[in-house]
Amino acid sequence: MDHIASLRDTLKRLCPALELREQEPMSRHTSFRIGGPARLMALPADPDQARVAVTAAREAGVVPFFLGNGTNLLVSDEGYDGFVVRCSDRSVSSPEPGILRAGAGLSLAQLAVAALERKLTGLEFAHGIPGTVGGAVTMNAGAYGGEIVQVLRSVSVLNPDGSRAEIPAAQCALGYRRSAFTDGSRLILAADFTLSEGDPAAIQGKMDDLAIRRREKQPLEYPSAGSTFKRPSGHFAAALIDRCGLKGLSVGGAQVSEKHAGFVINRGGATCRDVLELVEEIRRRVRSQTGVELELEIRLLGVGISPARTE
């Protein structure tokens, strides 16, 4: 039985307004610009549509993959023979003073701007992180001394059975690039953030300063998935890679950035295989020369690759 085809037909019947795409190129949905087609993709516009998608998938025996902006994801060249759910809720509101509630599909840049417009400080660090609220909570995204854990108040999720739950930040198990949602079993719908009143000029100034620092140090001109490896205990991955003389090392269209050794970039036409072969060569050389084992921060999805559940 073709479970994906059955699921597609069920969703069309149950929720005609739900946007569905078949054989959708994942290269359009990842910052690497790499990846073959997803068999079926749903783009729920609100929690009700999301609930229909998730419960129908469960009843069809299909495990959905929850996608954000794909900024930490590498997809197989063969694609993904499964069901992808990408929340497109980009709503933002202030339910009470000092609290910002954002839909899972809102970008972190938009979230930081929304805070600025309300004269709220605490999210400046997030302005340059190229992910969504859902993905940022899942991975406890952070940069330049700031992390989601510092400002998160609660998370609204959809359980596999379709029920909704509001989870306080203290129960989200936020750690270094992980959370209670990293296994992808629950779909993040929205998140609340606790912020402080601030001076708009100072907030804007800090955001501008961090933007300049990012442009100077990171290869933003090329597609990538950000930091390729997690930070090893007692070390920095980029420093180890640089010390091993690997800047500029290439496999096909994939290259270790000459600007920042912690980034593997798509110089043009890179395939998933190119990236994986380059990653393994980096790990081999760093292990051989320093004794340090590098662990991927990028999530993997697709045929022949150990699947991750969310990026």
Q: Where are the domains of the chain?
A: 3-86, 92-203, 229-295
Q: Please list the active-site residues.
A: 177, 227, 297
Report the share of the chain in percent with pLDDT over 70: 97
pLDDT at 50 over 80: yes
Measured between alpha carbons, how far is 253 from 21 in angstroms, rounded to an integer? Answer: 28
pLDDT at 66 over 70: yes
**Class of domain 229-295 as given by CATH:** alpha beta
* Mean pLDDT over each residue of the chain, to the nearest integer: 94
Chain segment 171-193, per-residue pLDDT in tens: 999 998 899 999 989 999 999 99
Chain segment 271-310, per-residue pLDDT in tens: 999 999 999 999 999 999 999 999 999 999 985 643 333 3
Render the burial of 197-227: b for 16+ CB within 10 Å, e for the rest. ebeeeebeebbeebeeebeeebbbebbbbbb
Containing 92, the helix (H) or strand (E) segment is strand 92-93
CATH 3.20.20.150 is the classification of domain 92-203: no
CATH 3.30.43.10 is the classification of domain 3-86: yes
